[in-house]
Amino acid sequence: MQKKISPKSIVILGNGISGITAARHIRKHSEYQITVVSEEHPYFFSRTALMYVYMGHLKFEHTQPYEKHFWKKNKIDLKQGRVETIDTKNKILQFSDGEALGYDSLILATGSKPNRFGWKGQDAQGVLGLYHKQDLESLEKFAPDNQACRRAVIVGGGLIGIELAEMLHSRHIPVTFLVRETSFWNGVLPEGESELINREIREKGIDLRLNTNLKEIKTDENGQVRSIVTEEECEEILCTVVGLTTGVSPNISYLKGSDITTNRGILVNRYLETNLPDIYAIGDCAEQQEPVGQRRPVEAVWYTGRMMGETVAQTICGNRTAYQPGPWFNSAKFFDIEYQTYGWVWAKPKENEARFYWEYTSGKKCIHLNFDTKSRMFIGINTFGIRLRHAFFDRVLQEGETVDYVLEHFADANFDPEFYPQHDEEIINQFNREQGAQLQRKKRSWKRIFSIPSQSL
Amino acid sequence: MKTLQQIGLGIFLTGLAVFVSLLFVGSYKLTPAQFEEVIQSKGIQSEVFLSEFNNQIVGKSFSNSHAFSAALISALDKANATHKKEREWSKVIWSKPNSFAYDIIKSTEAGVVAKNKALFWWLTFGLGILGALLFILPNVVLLGPPGIKNNGIWHSKATNRGWIGWMTFLFLVGFYILLYFYPNYIVNWVYLVDPISLKLSGNLASQWFLYGFLYCVVMTVMAVRMYIKYRNNKYQTLRTTSVLFFQIVFAFLIPEILVRFERPWYDFKNAFPLDYDFFFSWNLKQLIAEGGFGLFILVWGIVLTLVVVPVMVYFFGKRWYCSWVCGCGGLAETLGDPYRHLSNKSLGAWKLERWMVHGVLVFALVITGFTLYSYFSGASSVIGIKTQSLQDTYGFLIGSVFAGVIGTGFYPIFGNRVWCRFGCPLAAYLGIVQRFKSRFRITTNGGQCISCGNCSTYCEQGIDVRAYAQKGENIVRSSCVGCGICSAICPRGVLKLENGPEKGRINPTEILLGNDVDLVQLLNKK
């Protein structure tokens, strides 16, 4: 693609994965002037890695994927500041320090903010979330070790909640984990997987309370957390730190009073365009007017932010491109258990769906396949404790292969490190038993693995 | 369990303290009979030397090795100064003063340590091993169930370049300086392993035997630590077993047993140019004089470097050598594992690395060229440069200072692969093959990377693994030793070490897998 030569000025609000990906890709294809504005920290860092800083696996600097000279070399201006208002008519941003910045195109990539539900005491000393870099500083202040923090209570049973539990556990701080649902993350995970993670949480010595809501946070005379009270049992649990990890929502409050249309997030069409010309929204803060396939209208996922960045950069550089993500995938880690998913495995099967669940005797590995009862078409897989190959499932899902194909070629799909114990034999045997099938395991073939067309090597 | 660990630490430190204190104890005395032997074995003709020795040294007691060394070296210097002034070249004693002193001191067999070798072995090695194991073994319980065990690494003063790290650095650097340049001060340490050396090769120990034995002990103890830390990962446990096996059997036992059968000391896995003096004339002469067995070694050494090494790198990457076989790699992967995250990941360090490591390779090849030319032509110098002094320079700068003092001494500061990354000529050679003609790569798993940075941080070779993974690209780098840690610690299952077809191994992509199929194809095909 030819580089566009023009003084056109692109301003990106937010230096998370979405904004930075957009900036990098715009730079690849153009000589536009690029300014990335951020409030939290001048440099891009990986939010998902904050937990490792507290745990002592990394230093904060390690969460920054680019060295400082990268930005200068690529002529991407970084500006730290807080946007007060957006004058969409004259295309000018007003900052809280009185400065102003004009733009030709504006990309809103302001991410999410943690949810708060108006609990009594939610602003007390020692109540914190796990989202911003500043939360890390609060943690170091209120929960440096198990002397300063005798117990922490975490409210909210999602991915961030379990990460916070793992963090506190790494410093031997006793944790009580309040989960509203009947089983951990069972709005997303089917019963088997959810139960497997319940066990993992408890095995780590976390006091997991299912079916439990927070009623209020009690404080001492200094405004410091003293205890929490649960909704159901009205039980008071003494603690000095409360982690609120009850999800995130789009960070769009700065748009109040502007004429950019919002709902939960900033409403965009398939081209990531807002209702106003030359203003785009990407990442966690964007809401699709029409959800893409089975995806949610607001996708607060690392890679979707990145993909929207890749896509909007095309449009900005003159190749108007729709956001059309391929098959759904995701991953996470629950203490020592890695989780990956490709395609869809809903918490509860839909009418046309059949399921196959296999769990290893250790209770730490399982796979769960979802497929169409009639056509036997493969719909999705959850995998715990076994790594699988994205390229394999991306192809299988796009080409509409059957569940039988997937299981027969499961050796190709495996992505575990070398010499790891393989379970394809047990898996296929159990499948054959349960489904009365006669599938034969195929040996792993490098030729097949590396000739995947969608990777367009 | 915690208490047990603390007791272990106490015992270890006691052993270490005894070990260090041995540098300062002992009483040394050269008897007239021993002096006769020295004169015989060294072929000494200097009358100045004889009179100096008879007046100042023979029959006198010295309370430590420093005083004794000083007296020996001063006698030697005096004698040499006189003879050089008088131009009596045949009377000059050309030995290096410290080695000369070492030989004499070692032969006296005097002092409390020499008389109680076994007892002191137990007080040093014995306590050290016991204490270290007591410190390490409780981790089976304390670290919890199998999984990634990196908690607190950047908080610990031992592993974040804190004061414990700096103390360790001082100790290691001091050890290597004594070992390479002042063996006369560590005679007591060598006495400790005399009994073992006698059993193995039938000879008394040299400082190199001490080093070899200590190397094996340290690797074994720290391998236990590896087995516990990485017990969730079979690649790591197998790899650790492999380096341990090659160190103990190939680098230690076989060479010593060869000596017992009056064969030349040879480590069959140590490939040229890491084994930089393989083609030195003294080695060639020794091998050829040896007859059939010597010729076998000569041929094997050449085949190893020219055929075995590149062919294996083609199929498996340089990891087969660097992190499965090599002794330097073996120490780095056991003793050095706690320091792997300290390597520098900056672009600047990568640039420096390429200049240095390839520079050393060129240097090694040049001295080998000079050596072979001298060997065949008989000329002692080539284009006005003395082959011998070139060899000495390489041996000092690269063989001793870089590989030893910096390579290992700097573990706690610059990470555990400084030598392998910046200095090893064999690694440079393997790296060139790995980069351009190999089936090995670290595959990136489509679009799963979240840029967390664990892979880059824990890469001992300072490769910015994330820079590739977050772009969906495979990692194909000449410096990668395939330790597999990036893959092990990735929280999202993004990295896998693989040997596959060469086609598509290097896959620069514009857009990662998972986005719009048409867009991916459009941009990546360009």
Can you give the three-state secondary structure of B136-151, one letter per residue? HCCHHHHCCCCCCCCC
Q: How far is CA B296 from the centre of its chain?
A: 26
pLDDT band at A1 (very low <50, low <70, confident <90, very high): very low
Q: Which residue of A has its CA nearest to B522?
A: A456
- Residue in the structure block whose two tokens are 């790296």: B431
Please give the helix or strand (H or E) that residue A87 lies within, else none: strand A83-87
Q: What is the mean pLDDT of chain B?
A: 93
Q: How far is CA B243 from the centre of its chain?
A: 13
pLDDT(B192) > 50: yes
The answer for A 431-450 residues in CB contact with B (under 8 A) is 446-447, 449-450
pLDDT at A456: 40
Structure tokens at B178: 């004594």
What HEC string does B198-236 produce?
A: HHHHCCCCCHHHHHHHHHHHHHHHHHHHHHHHCCCCHHH
pLDDT(B524) > 90: no
DSSP A388: B
Nearest 5°: phi and psi at A105? -125, 140
| Residue B375, CA distances (Å) to A156, B283, B384, B481 in order | 77, 11, 16, 35
- Residue in the structure block whose two tokens are 């904050």: A50
A375 Cβ contact partners less than 8 Å away, ≥ 6 residues apart: A402
Left, alpha or beta for B259 (phi > 0: left; psi -120 to 50: alpha)?
alpha
The most confident of A193-202, B54-63, B378-387, by mean pLDDT? A193-202
Please give the helix or strand (H or E) that residue B384 lies within, else none: none
Please give the helix or strand (H or E) that residue B166 lies within, else none: helix B163-181
Q: ∠ CA B448-B450-B454 to the nearest 5 degrees? A: 110
Cβ of residue A333 closer than 8 Å to a chain B Cβ: yes
pLDDT(A344) > 70: yes
pLDDT tens, B405-421?
999 999 999 999 999 99
| One-character DSSP codes across B261-300 | TT-----TT--TTTSTTTTSHHHHHHHHHH-HHHHHHHHH
User: What is the rounded distance in angstroms from the CA atom of residue A229 to the CA atom of residue A195?
Assistant: 26
pLDDT band at A457 (very low <50, low <70, confident <90, very high): very low
The answer for A 385-414 residues in CB contact with B (under 8 A) is 387-391, 394, 398
| Residue B99, CA distances (Å) to A88, A273, B170, B206 in order | 82, 79, 23, 11
Top-confidence residue, A122 or B66: A122
**How large is the average pLDDT for residues B125-134?**
98
User: What is the rounded distance in angstroms from the CA atom of residue B466 to the CA atom of residue A66?
Assistant: 10
User: In chain A, which segments carry CATH 3.30.390.30?
Assistant: 329-449
User: What is the rounded distance in angstroms from the CA atom of residue A229 to the CA atom of residue A235?
Assistant: 5
CA distance B446 to chain A (A): 5
CA distance from start to end of chain B: 60
CB B519 within 8 A of CB B511: yes
User: What is the rounded distance in angstroms from the CA atom of residue A249 to the CA atom of residue A454?
Assistant: 33
**How large is the average pLDDT for residues B476-488?**
97
Architecture of the domain whose range is A127-246: 3-Layer(bba) Sandwich (3.50)
Cβ of residue A321 closer than 8 Å to a chain B Cβ: yes
Q: How far is CA B408 from the centre of its chain?
A: 7
CB B499 within 8 A of CB B440: yes
From chain B, the residues in CB contact with A454 under 8 A are 513, 517, 520-521
Structure tokens at B414: 């610059």
**Cut 0.90: pTM above it:** yes
- Of A362-376, A393-407, B34-48, B365-379, least confident by mean pLDDT is B34-48
Structure tokens at A263: 């709902």
Best of B230, B233, B517, B522 to mutate (most A CBs within 10 Å, chain A):
B517
User: In chain A, which segments carry CATH 3.50.50.60?
Assistant: 9-113+249-316, 127-246
Cβ of residue A199 closer than 8 Å to a chain B Cβ: no
Per-position b or e across B206-237, b if 16+ CB within 10 A of its CB: bbebbbbbbbbbbbbbbbbbbbbbbbbbebbb
Structure tokens at A122: 């939610």
Polymer length in residues for chain A: 457
B519 and A311 in contact by Cβ < 8 A? yes
pLDDT tens, A61-114?
999 999 999 999 999 999 999 999 999 999 999 999 999 999 999 999 999 999
Cβ of residue A384 closer than 8 Å to a chain B Cβ: no
**How large is the average pLDDT for residues B344-369?**
96
Q: How far is CA A110 from the centre of its chain?
A: 15
B493 and A398 in contact by Cβ < 8 A? no
Architecture of the domain whose range is A9-113+249-316: 3-Layer(bba) Sandwich (3.50)
pLDDT tens, B384-397?
888 889 999 999 99
CATH of region A329-449, choose from 3.30.390.30, 3.40.50.880, 3.10.20.30, 2.60.120.560: 3.30.390.30
B519 Cβ contact partners less than 8 Å away, ≥ 6 residues apart: A310, A311, A314, A321, A324, B511
Q: Are strands A329-334 and A337-343 parallel, antiparallel or unpaired?
A: antiparallel
pLDDT(B303) > 90: yes
**How large is the average pLDDT for residues A202-219?**
96
**How large is the average pLDDT for residues B310-337?**
97
CB-defined contacts A:B, below 8 A: 190
Cβ of residue A350 closer than 8 Å to a chain B Cβ: no
Three-class SS state of B89: helix
B82 Cβ contact partners less than 8 Å away, ≥ 6 residues apart: B46, B48
Best of A160, A162, A418, A452 to mutate (most B CBs within 10 Å, chain B):
A418
Structure tokens at B441: 């790569």
- Residue in the structure block whose two tokens are 């396949």: A369
Q: Which residue from B445, B447, B520, B469 is spatially nearest to A302, judged by alpha carbons?
A: B447
- Residue in the structure block whose two tokens are 């715009």: A26
Is the Cα torsion angle B27, B32, B33, B37 positive or negative in sign? positive
Per-position b or e across A246-274, b if 16+ CB within 10 A of its CB: bebbbbbebbeeeebebeebbbbeeebbb
User: What is the rounded distance in angstroms from the CA atom of residue A34 to the CA atom of residue A31?
Assistant: 9
Nearest 5°: phi and psi at A347? -55, -40
Structure tokens at A396: 């299988």
pLDDT(A3) > 60: no
CA distance B510 to chain A (A): 9
Nearest 5°: phi and psi at B443? -80, 135
**How large is the average pLDDT for residues A372-394?**
97
User: What is the rounded distance in angstroms from the CA atom of residue A206 to the CA atom of residue A199?
Assistant: 10
pLDDT at B507: 86
pLDDT band at A4 (very low <50, low <70, confident <90, very high): low
The residues that bridge with A267 in the sheet, in sequence order, are A287
User: Who among B347, B453, B470 is closest to A63 (CB)?
Assistant: B453
B234 Cβ contact partners less than 8 Å away, ≥ 6 residues apart: A417, A419, A420, A421
Best of B160, B451, B489 to mutate (most A CBs within 10 Å, chain A):
B451
User: What is the rounded distance in angstroms from the CA atom of residue B462 to the CA atom of residue B286?
Assistant: 40
Q: What is the ipTM of this complex?
A: 0.95
| Residue A374, CA distances (Å) to A351, A353, A354, A367, B445 in order | 11, 9, 9, 21, 31
pLDDT at A328: 96
Q: Omega before B273 cis (within 30°)?
A: yes
pLDDT(B15) > 60: yes
pLDDT tens, A25-69?
999 999 999 999 999 999 999 999 999 999 999 999 999 999 999
Three-class SS state of A128: strand
Three-class SS state of A16: coil
Q: Which residue from B439, B443, B440, B441 is spatially nearest to B495, judged by alpha carbons?
A: B443
From chain B, the residues in CB contact with A416 under 8 A are 496
CB A157 within 8 A of CB A212: no
User: Who among A302, A325, A419 is closest to B515 (CB)?
Assistant: A325
CA distance B310 to chain A (A): 22
User: What is the rounded distance in angstroms from the CA atom of residue B4 to the CA atom of residue A121?
Assistant: 44
User: Who among B153, B445, B519 is closest to A415 (CB)?
Assistant: B445
Top-confidence residue, B380 or B431: B431
The residues that bridge with A177 in the sheet, in sequence order, are A154, A208
User: Who among A65, A307, A321 is closest to B467 (CB)?
Assistant: A65
- Residue in the structure block whose two tokens are 């669940």: A357
CB B418 within 8 A of CB B437: no
